Amino acid sequence: MPLCTPSRSALMTGLYPIHNGMQSTVILPAAPWGLPLENKILPQHFKDLGYDVNMIGKWHLGFFQTPYVPMKRGFDTFFGLYTGSNDYYNHTSGSVSKKQEQITGALCLTVGGITHGVEPLLTDSPLNFYPQPFFCYFSHQAVHRALDSETFQAPARNVLKFPYIEESNRTIYAGMLDALDESMGRVVEALSSAGMLEDTIIVFSSDNGGGPYGIESNRGFNWPLRGAKFTVWEGGVRVPAFVWSPKFLKKSRVSNQLMHISDWLPTLYTAAGGDASALGTIDGVDMWNSLTHRSASKRKEILLNSNSLYNISGLRYKQYKLVVGGGFDGELDDHYYFPGGTRPTNDIDQLRNESTTARVLRKFYEKQDRSWSPLAWSNNVAVDCRRNKLTENFVPMQPPYLFNIEKDPCELNNLAKLKNKHFVS
């Protein structure tokens, strides 16, 4: 999805946001609305299966009334922020008109009483109290911007690793991403130390593409994909993800099959031992069999969004993608190249092998007398728009647009503008 709130609503409900009313925009701190209470959401479904369900991090689905907060929506514990973003160190949100807590848990924690960065708090607290079986929704604020589009924050030790970038905010973004990587490593390490790794499924994904410039910018560039956060171009809605499980996924692979964020609810519900049909009428598709047995994806179409507020909608059907409307006067419709200096020719696979997660997993697989190697993963997931040598045929603000995404992932050649378009219905 193109934005935080719509994406999170789809994750929690298994519904396209047009079916839960959350499709248009994000929830601002003082906004009197939230994810409708009539929607039964992910933690409530998992509690039906006997799971202890916990949340750490960013909620962003409404808190204007008590029934809308996470611990009233099914989570047994919650430690995080209600809003879309806040200061990483003092945890305040500049948009809140009165003093309100932006970090809330089972114990009441005041803003003034917390002096540490939020990411270490969220990372170092989760695995000390979970019984089994448990589900943890760990929703990092990183790599979101802080209070505004010009406020970027990350630990200095992480930022100092990237002097070659030579662009201040982009360098801090890299520091945020590096800190996120360290945080994930500590989670994997904690699971291993607790003896839980063998029976754990880890899913990592993002809620939307990066915002390189302008509104909601975090200096996240989606190159070589077109567009940015807020849009339904590939740069706004196409995000990398991975699933790891030693019990169910015996061999690593890269998949380019269609999958939508609403699919995680039925997929993980099935993985947890439930019957996805018990979830009722939802838009999400159970992908567990596709993930574990390499069978074809059941997904044929994805509604990327239908947003009348910003006048932009998108639909994917098999390899084709239709975009209608404009939005933002074409300001977010370009391909945005990375600013700053020339990066060193680091071996990405080598850097990955030096991470905390890699170190933990090597030990984990050695104990099982199994091999593990992530070599060449980056090459297998790279998007290369030069491969098919397409001629660019794109004019901003002149919809409709139709692309063959399998051949043209960077949305260069608008098939809807070709003279011979008998295949367009």
**Using N-to-C axis directions, what is the helix angle for 356-367 and 168-193, rounded to 10°?**
20
For strands 77-81 and 320-325, give the pairing.
unpaired
Does the active-site annotation cover 60? yes
Burial class from Cβ neighbours inside 10 Å (0-12, 13-18, 19+) for residue 421 reads exposed
Of these residues, 19, 60, 91, 140, which one is catalytic? Answer: 60
Question: DSSP for 335-389?
Answer: B-PPPSSPPP---HHHHHHTSHHHHHHHHHHHHTT-----TTHHHHH---TTTTT
Does the bond joining 400 to the residue before it have cis omega, within 30 degrees of 0? yes
Does the active-site annotation cover 144? no
Does the bond joining 143 to the residue before it have cis omega, within 30 degrees of 0? yes
* Whether 162 contacts 152, CB under 8 Å: no
Compute the distance between CA of residue 139 and CA of residue 144 in angstroms, rounded to an integer. 11
Compute the distance between CA of residue 59 and CA of residue 69 in angstroms, rounded to an integer. 8
Q: Give residue 116's Cα distance to chain centre.
A: 25
55 strand-pairing partners:
78, 137
C-alpha atoms less than 13 angstroms from C-alpha of 319 in its C-beta half-sphere: 7
Q: How far is CA 136 from CA 37, 122, 202, 384, in A?
A: 21, 12, 10, 35
Catalytic sites, residue numbers: 4, 60
